Structure 1
Amino acid sequence: MRRCPGGRSWRRAAWRLRCFRFVKIDCYSIETNIQIFAVCASVARRCGYPNRPDRGGGPMNFSARGLSAMFSVLRQRNFAIYTSGSTVSLIGTWMQRVTVGWLCWELTGSGAWLGLLAFADMFPSVIVGPLAGAAADRWDRLRIARISQMLGLLQATFLFVALVAGFLTIELLFAVVLFHGVVEAFNQPSRLALIHSLVGRERLGAAVAINSIAFNLARFVGPAIAGVLIATVGVAWAFALNAMTFGAFALALAAVSLVRDDALAPRSGFLREIVDGFAYSVRHPGIGPILMLMIAAGVGGRAVVELLPGFAADVFGAGPIGLAALTSSVAVGAILGGFVVGVRQSYTGLTRTVIVSVFGIALAVAAFTVTDTLYLGAAALAVAGFFMVTTGVGSQTLVQLAVDGSMRGRVLSLHGLIFRGGPALGALLMGVSSEFAGLRLPVAVGAAILAICAFFALTRVNAIADALENEPRN
């Protein structure tokens, strides 16, 4: 869209000034994020991470030996190839997510459209997820992942062509985002279940944590790259680069072979298998409550990430660079959260860690809504990102440990459904409400409701922990 203008010298000078301002602001955001990382480390220690078994934090080891033990899982060839390709693809995905949000705001200036696009991106998990979970328990999970990457490549290429050709409208953008949301929804259960198939139960916690660190590293790098591209060569090239990252992951998946896998579920019809998986999750004394808490966290807390374009433009007045800084700040805290969970030496106390972390999300999001200073908002989001990851990685690890192997795909499809559908629903509700009440009030109300849910879960923490931490499965 925007190109470096030619012609008159004053235009060239204005463009150079704009680029200088971008570099200056971006360096400031890097310095800010370094300071935020220290804040998150302090928060981790105050909340009982690490080395506070008395608080249910579980023993952890942040020494070089502890970190080496965590990353030793990357010595397994298949997991290393998978993680490398996945990280590249995730960087592209976050580039596109930020670019789509900014493009939507430029086209409409509407919080409702931001919410609708987030809804289209993530809510298909609610419809497609259960079917995809049954498919993951029946079919070749690796093949499903490969096909999904090729479809992702096609949609990113289409966005690039449509934008360059000048026929991309907000309605067409919504349709493409919805298509990609359906593809990701079908892919997610297979992608999550592949981790167990690649490393087995013994290294599961470290593998899930590394996968989360890669996701949040991409959340940091992707928006930064998107900000550079939007400010220099234009929005379209962010879509083009994303298409290349999908291709890179497809090549990586072609080189992966599974070492171990769960037994396939007995075939009894897709509908029956979906119902069986849902019933199993609801009746399980640990999986059911933890999934309900994840719904509350997605709708009431994590939805704020989908509304950051509106906050960057209207609340902070910071433009695309401010959006990149806010999104990257979430990633800074999230990366530290991934390390905190990954170096655990035991799964004991992980349930309490997850529930306390949900409280942390609520408090950090509430703090974010009461400031109009970019620096303070970024700090609050970094703390929120830390707790989002300790919640997400911890809950996924607990579910993977407790679930029966023949139900893994279907139960993880519900986890993925909640992970994507919860923020989508929350962003839709908050985005529509923002048309009448502004962005801050709906987000603050969601944080308050989330805190209440976390308090209720904490009153049942021992029963939930007994079902999740003391019930080994295949």
Structure 2
Amino acid sequence: MVSTSGDTRPQSIFSDRNFILFLVGQCITTQGLWVQKIAMSWLAWSLTGSAFWTGTIAALNFAPAFFLGPIFGVMADRVDLRRTAMVINLGQAAVSFLLMGLSYADMMSLPWMVVLAGSMGILGSAMTPVRLSLVPVIVKREFMSRAVAYAAMNFNISRLVGPAVGGVVIATWGTGAAFMINALSYLPMIFVISVVTIHMDRAPDAKSRRIWASLVDGARYAIHHPMIRSVLALSCFVSLVGTGMVELMPVFAEAVYERGVTGLGMLASAGGVGAVASTFFLSRVGSNAADYQRITIYGAFGASVGMLGLGFAPWYEMAVVLVALTGGGLTLVGVGSQTALQLTVDNRLRGRVMSFWSATSFGGMALGGTLLGAISEAGNIQYTARGSGVLILCTALIGLWRLYRIGKIGARR
């Protein structure tokens, strides 16, 4: 992109007012999100002392994406993105305020947690395809890979800071204050969405198709596109056995290392350190979808090593380092797969295909958190971590073999 003033130097994405506004709004909102996430995990463990229920409550924040995500993806291709994003953010703020009220009134119970975690999960699954469709329409295509990477970096910096802040807030003022912080954090993003400029329209025929027909069109496109199919399969499986395992960090912090909520905050922040390092690396990669596909496989290797090590780590300090490695690898898979899809997908089908990504990624995380929590309840959570590491390693080896095979076929042609 060349400036009109005669300067031939490429413009920076940070010269784009739209992107800066969106990035700042997302930064504030995601800080609150991670503060609430750590509060929900700790509250679930405190109320039940159960790895199964801790994993289930975490899963409810993501499970609706698996079942409802594709429907919301069709919606994202049909609705006014600005208005829809504002309504969903208001709904998320309302649920957080209710969590705050129940906590301060000392009325929180497991049934309330199930209902409200599920409500946040439904709203989050509706917001994900809308948010993923917003990024490409507020920046030009040549900035898209960097926009996705910087947005992910922002998310993971919040993942670094938010849990540590959440741990201090919970230890000092209780979970009610953590829920209040998250509720207030949605308000700046609502303002940003109201003023940001939308550059691109949805497909003109988006409303002329029935919901089921639109959904089938998106699924057929994803299944028959080799890269999209491979990326979705890898991100789904790694989320299932990798990110699902990370959802059980409260069990590691308390049951394995006896470090309490501050130890949980440190483990979660360590994962954030690895994630930030990975997203910084991703921000330096070009705009080639095939490069991002390879990065997802390398990320799977890193996550498998970290998870295997965590299954054997005898000391808390070693676990912190291994969680950082795991977080970095999982971020390469998550952000790399998302960017590969954003650079590949037909814009007319963007909302639907990206909803399949959120369904496989977040749905896999939800199912994995529940299943791995149940397995850990029956046995030792470190044995579960070892099994997860082996499965991710096998998946990475299969992905590497497929890339090698495709390269050989391409060379012959």
The reply to whether residue 151 of structure 1 matches residue 91 of structure 2 is yes
User: Cα 1:426–1:440, aligned 2, differ >3 Å: closer, same or farther?
Assistant: same
In the TM superposition, residue 326 of structure 1 has moved relative to its aligned partner by: 0.3
Which whole-Å CA distance do the structure 2 matches of 1:390 and 1:466 have between them? 25
In the TM superposition, residue 171 of structure 1 has moved relative to its aligned partner by: 1.1
Given that residues 310 and 385 in structure 2 are in contact (C-alpha distance below 8 angstroms), is that contact kept between their aligned partners in structure 1?
A: no
Which whole-Å CA distance do the structure 1 matches of 2:233 and 2:300 have between them? 12
The reply to whether residue 238 of structure 1 matches residue 213 of structure 2 is no
Given that residues 64 and 122 in structure 2 are in contact (C-alpha distance below 8 angstroms), is that contact kept between their aligned partners in structure 1?
A: yes
> Which residue of the partner structure matches residue 314 of structure 1?
255
Which whole-Å CA distance do the structure 1 matches of 2:65 and 2:276 have between them? 25
User: Cα 1:428–1:465, aligned 2, differ >3 Å: closer, same or farther?
Assistant: farther
User: Cα 1:78–1:466, aligned 2, differ >3 Å: closer, same or farther?
Assistant: farther
CA offsets, 1:74-133, max 9 Å, x none?
221111111111111001010000001111111110001011112211010011100110
Given that residues 240 and 367 in structure 2 are in contact (C-alpha distance below 8 angstroms), is that contact kept between their aligned partners in structure 1?
A: yes
Counterparts of 1:19-168 in structure 2, within 5 Å, are: 72-168=12-108
Identity %: 31
> Which residue of the partner structure matches residue 335 of structure 1?
276
Q: Which runs of 4+ in 1 moved over 4 A?
A: 462-467
Which whole-Å CA distance do the structure 2 matches of 1:231 and 1:167 have between them? 19
> Which residue of the partner structure matches residue 437 of structure 1?
379
CA offsets, 1:34-93, max 9 Å, x none?
xxxxxxxxxxxxxxxxxxxxxxxxxxxxxxxxxx989x3122111111111111100101
In the TM superposition, residue 226 of structure 1 has moved relative to its aligned partner by: 0.8
Given that residues 145 and 287 in structure 2 are in contact (C-alpha distance below 8 angstroms), is that contact kept between their aligned partners in structure 1?
A: no
> Which residue of the partner structure matches residue 13 of structure 1?
none
Aligned length: 399
In the TM superposition, residue 463 of structure 1 has moved relative to its aligned partner by: 6.7
Alignment partner of 1:283 out of 224, 227, 237: 224
> Which residue of the partner structure matches residue 355 of structure 2?
413
The reply to whether residue 368 of structure 1 matches residue 310 of structure 2 is yes
User: Cα 1:298–1:179, aligned 2, differ >3 Å: closer, same or farther?
Assistant: same
Letter matched to residue 285 of structure 1: P
In the TM superposition, residue 443 of structure 1 has moved relative to its aligned partner by: 2.4
Letter matched to residue 389 of structure 1: T
Which whole-Å CA distance do the structure 2 matches of 1:458 and 1:216 have between them? 26
User: Cα 1:317–1:279, aligned 2, differ >3 Å: closer, same or farther?
Assistant: same
The reply to whether residue 294 of structure 1 matches residue 235 of structure 2 is yes
> Which residue of the partner structure matches residue 14 of structure 1?
none
In the TM superposition, residue 438 of structure 1 has moved relative to its aligned partner by: 2.1
User: Cα 1:94–1:383, aligned 2, differ >3 Å: closer, same or farther?
Assistant: same
CA offsets, 1:235-264, max 9 Å, x none?
111111111001121112112121224424
> Which residue of the partner structure matches residue 349 of structure 1?
291
User: Cα 1:108–1:187, aligned 2, differ >3 Å: closer, same or farther?
Assistant: same
Q: Which is worse superposed, 430-439 or 89-98?
A: 430-439
**Cα RMSD after superposing both structures:** 1.8
Alignment partner of 1:423 out of 362, 365, 384: 365
Given that residues 265 and 407 in structure 1 are in contact (C-alpha distance below 8 angstroms), is that contact kept between their aligned partners in structure 2?
A: no
- Tell me the secondary structure at the aligned position of residue 272 of structure 1: helix
Given that residues 369 and 443 in structure 1 are in contact (C-alpha distance below 8 angstroms), is that contact kept between their aligned partners in structure 2?
A: yes
User: Cα 1:99–1:362, aligned 2, differ >3 Å: closer, same or farther?
Assistant: same
User: Cα 1:449–1:80, aligned 2, differ >3 Å: closer, same or farther?
Assistant: same
Counterparts of 1:170-319 in structure 2, within 5 Å, are: 170-266=110-206, 267-319=208-260
